[in-house]
Amino acid sequence: MHINFLNDEHKRRFEVLTAAGQVSVRDIERVAMFYIWAGNVDLYRKSAALYDFDERLIRNDWDERADFSSGAQGLVCLSFNLYNGYPANVYNIFGCLDTENRKLAIRAISIRFNVEPETPEREDDWEDELDRYITSGEHEIWQKGE
């Protein structure tokens, strides 16, 4: 599995969390959860309030152990959902996330469900397709309504 990190610091924090949690790369539930926490500085700093690293369990009283913004709470709920099906409303979660945390959430979902995001082979593929369309004369047929 290829993991696409937001930056080098995200990767470093992820490695710290997975080492502390004794997480195998095959444990995709915890990998996705720690991916989210490592990508958000606030969650990374408060990870001990979220997870018992000795018992290897999420904490049920996480919201009483530390203060979290609405965006951070949404990411926690999503990370727990990816870990064990914890109830989470995706619409509400994404509604309170900024662009960077939305990227983080989407990537964590793809990790959890082992879906590689599609990337174009080349950025200029659409230009090649447009050139083909124009030179083929298809656009003239469309314009005439045939």
Q: How far apart are CA 146 and CA 139, in angstroms?
A: 10
Backbone φ and ψ for 66, nearest 5 degrees, come out as: -155, 160
Q: Confidence band (pLDDT; 50, 70, 90) for 131?
A: low
Whether the predicted pLDDT of 85 surpasses 90: yes
pLDDT tier at 2, thresholds 50, 70, 90: confident
pLDDT band at 134 (very low <50, low <70, confident <90, very high): low
Whether the CB-CB separation of 30 and 83 falls below 8 Å is answered with yes
Q: Is 5 left (phi over 0), alpha (psi -120 to 50) or beta?
A: beta
| Least confident stretch, 65-74, 97-106, 121-130 | 121-130
Percent of the chain topping pLDDT 70: 79
Residue with tokens 């174009």: 120
Total residue length of the chain: 146
Residue 144 has pLDDT above 70, yes or no: no
Instruction: Note the pLDDT tens digit of each residue in 73-82.
Output: 999 999 999 9
pTM, rounded to two decimals: 0.79
What is residue 130's predicted lDDT score, i.e. its pLDDT? 59
- Say what the pLDDT of residue 139 is: 46
Task: Supply the mean pLDDT for the chain.
Answer: 87
Q: Is 136 a residue whose pLDDT tops 70?
A: no
Measured CA to CA, the distance from residue 50 to residue 62 in angstroms comes to 5
Coil/strand/helix, residue 96: coil
Averaged pLDDT, 52-76:
96
